[in-house]
Structure 1
Amino acid sequence: AKIFFTDLAGHSQSLFLPADFDIYFRPALEMGAGVSSNSWGSNDVTTNYVDTDRETDLFSWYNQEMLIVVASGNTGRRGGILSPGSSKNALSVGSTGNDMASRGDVSSFSGYGPTWDGRIKPEVVAPGNGIMSAKSDGRQGSNQCDITSKSGTSMAAPLVAGAALIVRQYFTQGWWPTGAPVASNGFKPSAALVKGMLIQSGEPQHGRIGYGGRLQGTLPENPQGWGLVRIDRVLRFPDSSFQLHVENNVTLKHRERWHKCFGASGGKLKVTLNWIDAVPAFGVS
């Protein structure tokens, strides 16, 4: 695996984003990246559909092989998704506790929707409390390699991006449908399929750190979306207790219908439908 890194920061520690996000995302795509992890966001607390949301969706619409993963923001309140977390096509990620503490609880700082037009955000959550991360000393050329504990949705988003890469590898190496790698079964999954698999994997969270309250635990819901990403719940192997069926890049014309029948054998049936949406005009949901 290889990592493509884009530096958006200037000397003032502010972000410098191009007006056209194709300039930002395309270099990584052309180098073969299928997932883009973005631990940054606007300082404006708004659920409105703004420029950075639209630019993210525009790139996703014309480049449907790359999944864009974004942090939901650390506002800790309803209606507190930070752009581009409100974009339709990006996968927005909220934060939970980790296995060491507060497992099963959404982080108190994790921002959530709904967006102004009623969409649920974030779509999924992942551990973002007390995550070991890089620690810079702020000096260029020092070659420091220290680490430190950090918390935030910016810590959760890369974990989900990593899970997305594993899902992508599962399909490209031909693990589906047999549960073993068969090269002839391999295919390149669309961003919609990878995003759908992560949503499908969601496990309900039941509390919120520092608030003492309970979440409904009925998915989907703000502030956890479709729950904690658990790819072991969707990647099927020979010893798995579930079946997995996927459809990739299904297209429908106007007024066209698509049918799929499954034999009922007991147990639960869970279906996730996901697609990359066209870019709306400003002010339109």
Structure 2
Amino acid sequence: MLGRDGGALRAPAKSGSRYVLQLNGTLNDHQRALLAQTGARLGDYLPANAYLADLSRADLDAIAALGFVRWAGEWRPEWKIEPQIGSRAFSSEERKAIASAGEVLVQAYLFDGVPADVAKREIESFTGATVEDSVRIGGMETLAVRIPLANVRELSNADSIRFVEELPEFTERSNTNTRWIVQSNISNSTPLYDAGIHGEGQIIGIMDGGFQPAHCSFSDPALAITTGNTPGVFPTHRKVAAYNVPLVSSSHGTHVAGTAMGNQSGEVNDNTRGIAYNARVCFRTYSTPVSAFPIDVHLTTHANQGATVHTNSWGDDGTTAYNAICRAIDLFSYDHEDNLVCFASTNLSALKNPENAKSVLAVGKSGGSGSQTGSCSTLSGPTADGRRKPEVFAPGCSTISASSSTSCGTTTMTGTSMASPAVAGAASLIRQYFTDGFYPTGAKVPSNSLVPSGALLRAMLTNSSVDMTAYPSPNQVPPNRYEGFGRILLDNAVYLAGDARKLLVKDIRNTSGSALTTSSVSTTNFRVQGSGQSLRVTMAFSDAPATIPTSFAPVNDINLRVIDPFGNVYLGNVINATTGLSQTGGGADAINSIELVVLNSPATGNWRAEVVGAAVNVGTQGFGLVITGDVASFNACPADLNGDQVVDDFDFAIFALAYDMFDCSAPSMPPSCPSDITADGFVDDSDFVAFATAYDAFLCP
């Protein structure tokens, strides 16, 4: 055990072991460099203000001399074993047989740098332990181990092991109306389709129990997908981009795919058509009950094949823990920022796993036509550590979609399984809106194309959401633990030419120079032009993956605050539970990765939305910001030509070059003519006066 004794750490660090270093506050870059100089190698962040660390090559006296290290201690054996191992009831015959034999299947996660073969030899030295598989899950080398239940706690003595949990058992979570409900909630009104947005150029990743590509919703007369050519990649296929396992049919998976992206040849507008009906699919099955499942590896495969929105209608109803699959999904979302992962929430009454991952969009089910303000069952969050889930709802009660037992028929199913692909299809439509260049003009301008992050898509979907007034009963205004932010309604957030509601977005990647660090602020100035539209501001971010085990998953904390023309400050998620509107006061939300400010009849004038880096413990943190209402962009610092919040010599160099060119229409002038501060079409002496005044002030207001 390492401890603090009069300011000095004592006892040598054991080679191969890991330790916890707790600091007296948020780690900054200077402190990180000082720790590195001692030889300490930091690993995952641990709440609060602590890190898993390898001290085998560290100078312990040098660490003790650092004034910001509060405590150090060895990663203890009792922290290594999930307490609930052996207590679950399984549904598959394979897992029932293992349990009846007095054994368990567990996943052992290794410390960074430990070779799998070394760990295998150590683990198999324990009584009755057999290593059956080796994979990487969530960036961790993982061994699937079969061991007598009575002996499982012996694994805590293995130096190579970081944590052991029971291998999860994943199970399934069991269109015409859905298409207009998610777009406008007006019967047969489909504004995105009318604008030419049907999913063209989009690929949706689906993992499920199976999928029948011969159904007319997916078949291609020019290329049949069969047992003879699967697994395979099909770049020319009408609907299937990749089928990554041997062909296996499933009524559940076929129904799910039909809702997300099904469409017959010949443009038949019936229940064989899904939401993003001109999109394509990458498919694979999820794991068997007795095998480990490296979901991040399979999500990455789908991403490499072109999928950017992913839907999953299955999960583990045996736990509420933030475990390896949650970490794996969050790692994928953090490293692959152009991707959005949706999961159907459990059909049980309380939230389960892995919809409790931080960057997953957890989906609940609403009723269909005539009952979309309610649900056909009750689901309640939050997660075990208090985060708000589920986040959004879509129709999933008595959904009609493709039937695998027919060549072109349909069947009815109910469940969150049906809602998640509807949300994924809707997200694909939003993504096409951006990639086709509909933003910001509301009309298709290919040169305006932008690739949205998964965080921006989450912010768009939650910004669009509306209260399900008949759910829960009695009604509670969103956001709440039952309906999250509400049922998606895309027309509320997507701006098309002629719409009264306008749209402003900011999309910052984690690796961008504009990404947040602790105490930094990203400011977006905008103008409310009229009070007739509500103002909704949403911010979402893909948080760094948490360590396991953990009882508190948040790692980075960034917050939304909106300031009105009179200086009133509205913090994200500080919302009156009676009115559903934002109110001043309260405290910043330290745990949720989606935040909302909503106001009816907002004051006209100049507003400011700030995203604040409250505590960025790992890397730098990007985000997606969405502002809707009667709004327009407003530059409070037009002379800051490079956007660094100061007016200095770098800006002068940009201005001088444009001043020499004079005419904003000149071919060599940068797009949008940023040096035209007075907006008269020319860079002239009036702009020089405005620039000089701002240059003297230096700091942006």
* TM > 0.5: yes
Deviations 1:38-85 (A, max 9, x none): 1111131x432122212111111111111001001100x2xx222110
In structure 2, how many angstroms separate the alpha carbons of the residues matched to 1:47 and 1:274?
23
Shift of 1:6: 1.1
Deviations 1:193-236 (A, max 9, x none): 0111001000100224xx8x3221x2211211001011111110
Q: Residue 306 of structure 2 corresponds to which residue in structure 1?
A: 32
Letter matched to residue 269 of structure 1: L
TM-score where L is the length of structure 2: 0.37
- The one of 529, 536, 544 aligned to 1:278: 544
TM-score where L is the length of structure 1: 0.88
Q: Does the 8 Å contact 2:456/2:507 carry over to 1?
A: yes
Mapping of residues 127-142 of structure 1, within 5 Å = 127-137=395-405
Q: Does the 8 Å contact 2:317/2:346 carry over to 1?
A: no
- The one of 68, 71, 74 aligned to 2:347: 74
Q: How has the CA–CA distance of structure 1 residues 7 and 15 changed in structure 2, closer, same or farther, with 3 Å as cutoff?
A: farther
Letter matched to residue 125 of structure 1: F
In structure 1, how many angstroms separate the alpha carbons of the residues matched to 2:498 and 2:375?
31
Residue aligned with 1:246, SS: strand
- The one of 59, 62, 77 aligned to 2:335: 62
Q: Residue 315 of structure 2 corresponds to which residue in structure 1?
A: 41
Residue aligned with 1:244, SS: strand
Q: Does the 8 Å contact 1:94/1:112 carry over to 2?
A: no
Mapping of residues 1-285 of structure 1, within 5 Å = 1-8=279-286, 14=289, 18=293, 20-44=294-318, 46-75=319-348, 77=349, 80-99=350-369, 101-108=370-377, 110-137=378-405, 144-208=407-471, 213-216=473-476, 218-249=477-508, 251-267=515-531, 268-282=534-548, 283=550, 284-285=552-553
Shift of 1:174: 0.5
Letter matched to residue 223 of structure 1: Y
Q: How has the CA–CA distance of structure 1 residues 127 and 17 changed in structure 2, closer, same or farther, with 3 Å as cutoff?
A: farther
Shift of 1:37: 0.7
Residue aligned with 1:107, SS: coil
Q: Residue 140 of structure 1 corresponds to which residue in structure 2?
A: none
| Higher Cα radius of gyration | 2
In structure 2, how many angstroms separate the alpha carbons of the residues matched to 1:123 and 1:144?
35
Letter matched to residue 474 of structure 2: R
Residue aligned with 2:422, SS: helix
In structure 2, how many angstroms separate the alpha carbons of the residues matched to 1:258 and 1:194?
19
Q: Does the 8 Å contact 1:92/1:122 carry over to 2?
A: yes
In structure 2, how many angstroms separate the alpha carbons of the residues matched to 1:188 and 1:103?
31
Name the % identity: 35
In structure 2, how many angstroms separate the alpha carbons of the residues matched to 1:83 and 1:226?
20
Deviations 1:126-164 (A, max 9, x none): 000010133334xxxxx7443210000000000000000
Residue aligned with 2:523, SS: coil
Q: How has the CA–CA distance of structure 1 residues 17 and 155 changed in structure 2, closer, same or farther, with 3 Å as cutoff?
A: farther
Deviations 1:160-180 (A, max 9, x none): 000000000000010000000
Q: How has the CA–CA distance of structure 1 residues 16 and 66 changed in structure 2, closer, same or farther, with 3 Å as cutoff?
A: farther
In structure 2, how many angstroms separate the alpha carbons of the residues matched to 1:2 and 1:15?
31
In structure 2, how many angstroms separate the alpha carbons of the residues matched to 1:258 and 1:24?
34
Shift of 1:16: 5.2
Q: How has the CA–CA distance of structure 1 residues 9 and 117 changed in structure 2, closer, same or farther, with 3 Å as cutoff?
A: closer
Deviations 1:218-255 (A, max 9, x none): 22112110010111111101121111100011511232
In structure 1, how many angstroms separate the alpha carbons of the residues matched to 2:383 and 2:494?
30
Residue aligned with 1:5, SS: strand
Letter matched to residue 117 of structure 1: D
Q: Which stretch of the first structure deviates more once superposed, 111-120 or 228-237?
A: 111-120
Letter matched to residue 83 of structure 1: N
Residue aligned with 1:174, SS: coil
Q: Does the 8 Å contact 2:375/2:397 carry over to 1?
A: no
Q: How has the CA–CA distance of structure 1 residues 129 and 174 changed in structure 2, closer, same or farther, with 3 Å as cutoff?
A: same
Letter matched to residue 458 of structure 2: K
In structure 1, how many angstroms separate the alpha carbons of the residues matched to 2:470 and 2:291?
37
Q: How has the CA–CA distance of structure 1 residues 206 and 16 changed in structure 2, closer, same or farther, with 3 Å as cutoff?
A: farther
Return structure 1 stretches of 4+ with deviation > 6 angstroms.
none
Q: How has the CA–CA distance of structure 1 residues 62 and 151 changed in structure 2, closer, same or farther, with 3 Å as cutoff?
A: same
In structure 2, how many angstroms separate the alpha carbons of the residues matched to 1:145 and 1:263?
51
Determine which structure has the larger strand proportion and give its number. 2
Letter matched to residue 206 of structure 1: T
